[in-house]
Structure 1
Amino acid sequence: MKNKLSDLNDHLFAQIERLGDEDLNDEQIEREAKRADAIVSVADQIIKNADLQLKAATLLAGHGYHFAPHLANIAPTAERKALAQGDGQ
């Protein structure tokens, strides 16, 4: 399964819709509020990870790829090797 930030956006808006359902009783609202808190917590981590990847890509774009092997998780292994060998410039 491949998830994208657009999928996260869809999940967040779906949760807003569930929270806005006027047919929910107090117990269901409480359950949805707890669920929303969990979703927001996970979403925050996903967004922080995406921000870190963007910063790494910006760093590489601005300063070259000669130190790409030291940034272990910004690209798949094969891609890192190609960048380190100069194939990605």
Structure 2
Amino acid sequence: MARNKIINLNDHLFAQLERLGDESLKGDALYEEIKRSAAVTNVSEQIIKGGDLMLRARIAADNTIRGDQILPAILGGDFGPDSDTRQ
């Protein structure tokens, strides 16, 4: 089962680091692991940026009078211009 939570990102990054540290990897296998590591890094950066955006939106909402009512639905708000009113 996939562990698709931001809290598990460190586990994936450390696992990748361990694979890169495998001294038995040579030649093409090492090259492929380096390419995989670059891909994992790129995806990780996007996950972190998304998490940062959600955190900043939550902080901004908490610092307003209306709270969640100003958040677009994509960021977890139930009200506002982008809310989905379907049940």
Confirm or deny that 1:67 pairs with 2:65.
Answer: no
Please give the secondary structure, in 1, of the residue aligned with 2:23.
Answer: coil
What is the TM-score normalised by the length of structure 1? 0.76
Offset, 1:2? 6.0
| Equivalence for 2:30 | 29
Letter in structure 1 aligned against 2:78:
R
What is the match of residue 51 of structure 1? 52
Shift >4 Å, 4+ stretches: none
Task: Count matched residues.
Answer: 76
Q: Which sections of structure 1, spanning at least 5 residues, go unmatched?
A: 82-89
* One-letter code aligned to 1:62: N
Compute the RMSD of aligned alpha carbons.
Answer: 1.6
Residue identity over aligned pairs, in percent, reads 41
1:3 Cα deviation after fit:
1.8
Distance 2:20 2:70 in 1: 46
Gaps of 5+ in 2: 80-87
